[in-house]
Structure 1
Amino acid sequence: TYLPDPEHPSEGHTSTISSLTSTPSFIISGSKDHSIRIWSKQTRCLAYPPLLGHVGTVVAIEACDTPALIFSGDTNGNVMIWDLTTGTLVQSLENAHADTVLDVAFKGGVLATASRDQSVKVWERGPVDHAGNAFNTFRLRHTLLGHQGAVLSVCVTHDGKRAVAMSGADRALKIWDLGTGKVLKSFEGFAGVAVKLQLIEAERKVLAACTNHAIMIYDLDSGEEEVGVHGHGNVVRAVRIVGNGEETKMMVSASYDSTVRLWKRGNGGHGAWSTVRTLSFREAV
């Protein structure tokens, strides 16, 4: 399937799409044209007019259903928060970082933003009204320093208490306590630089889409590389667990080799990974 629908070509971005995420009902895209577009999966058309406000390329984007919010970051260091149900701007965190925002992650009421300025910033949602409802505004809780290069990716545990981030120059994976802002563990010297991470909390592991053309799986307790999954012919730009994330039986990856691969884990979810399907853009319908 292509977006926009061929019957509505004017709905498309006017420049390169630089970020992408989804919810059960929507696909959300960010672009070099400084806009965000929310697409209905059902109609394959825009759910709302383009979301405007960024003054740089929208490099990072995240969305969730509860609360119904979109988080976006751009090349000017700005972070914006949008209402997923209306497409309206909720809050603009101008100059949140001194350089490009490379990743955003939201879990457990906590927003983490990673930047080329070598920092991760942690933002807390609040305050809470008399009925116990948190307003959809965010304020800075911690600035996490210690990475020796651009922080390429960050992810947050479901309870909002921990974050895992990786930087490029030192190939360092750090686990942070978001309550104190302190480093809990730091591991260095990995074979590839991770440009995107996903936590597998039930197994205390992290998936890493890497520049060495592989998907690496690391143990969060020891920092050891458990397995390297190979098959792509270029940088792996994204990786996601298929399903609820509780068990790593299937995953999907996207690469600069112009393919998307669907992987399955053998032996009931405990064996080696193998490619189930390789998709190219030529196969889109």
Structure 2
Amino acid sequence: MARQVGVTTETVCKWRARFVTHRLDGLGDAPRPGRVCTVTDEQVAELVRLTLETKPKNATHWSTRSMARRAGMSQSTVSRIWRAFGLKPHRTESFKLSTDPLFVDKVHDVVGLYLDPPERALVLCVDEKSQIQALDRSQPVLPMMPGVPERQSHDYLRAGTTTLFAALDAASGKVIGSLHRRHRTAEFKKFLAKLDREVPAGLDVHLIVDNYGTHKTEPVRKWLLAHPRFHLHFTPTGSSWLNLVERWFAELTCKKLQRSVHRSVPALERDIRIWIKDWNAEPRPYVWHKTADQILDSLAGYCRRITDSGH
């Protein structure tokens, strides 16, 4: 029997002995050792309902301690149930639904450039990172030591601001950057002229930009008419996540600007130029995967969860 079933002879002997003694009742699982469960399914369902549908009187969200007092359970029990159901009342995530009437068309346009770019053309994601501050800490930075992280004073001294105009090549990941103290139409035209000089003459240029006012002024429109190889593609309002250069700005902030110390704007601009040069030495393109239909289906799911969203 052990060879036929594929178990040990001890297992066969144990279950045969239980059958001989208790007949069919002996084939069921015997009570297992350990503490008997004291939380019923009804109590678990009520705790989940309270977490999802109610709030404490003196707070914006439940904690394990406040829910334990409300539900009459231990804090560890509440924590285990929340983990089992993936409930995290202490966390929030932000979102914004675009109200652009041409939202669907613009999503298809921009995503189409990412997934199927035109031949003999360059797709550049363009935006400005304005108000980059040159900050100097009020006291010297204490370097990291074993067991002690780097320490910076919480207050700082402002030395001025600058604006970075950047164009990210969606295919190669290279960046064309230009620094200006202001971000008006005049500066944007200068940046367009720089792109015209640096992009080979035989290529069309498709620029993905947001709806900032300087991108739509009359001088910019005239410049575009005089340079017909440039084509502007606007992201929907409130949809900066569609522009890949925003991801590059986040990397610049995290790896260079967030913890740096600069006593002057020229020093800040010099470090930004060095960082762009190092990036272009080994560029890493961001690969877009989702199709426009997948994005729209995901957003439709959000809308269905929001009452009176109007979408």
Q: TM-score, normalised by structure 2?
A: 0.23
Larger helix fraction of residues: 2
Q: TM-score, normalised by structure 1?
A: 0.25
Larger strand fraction of residues: 1
Q: Which has the larger radius of gyration?
A: 2
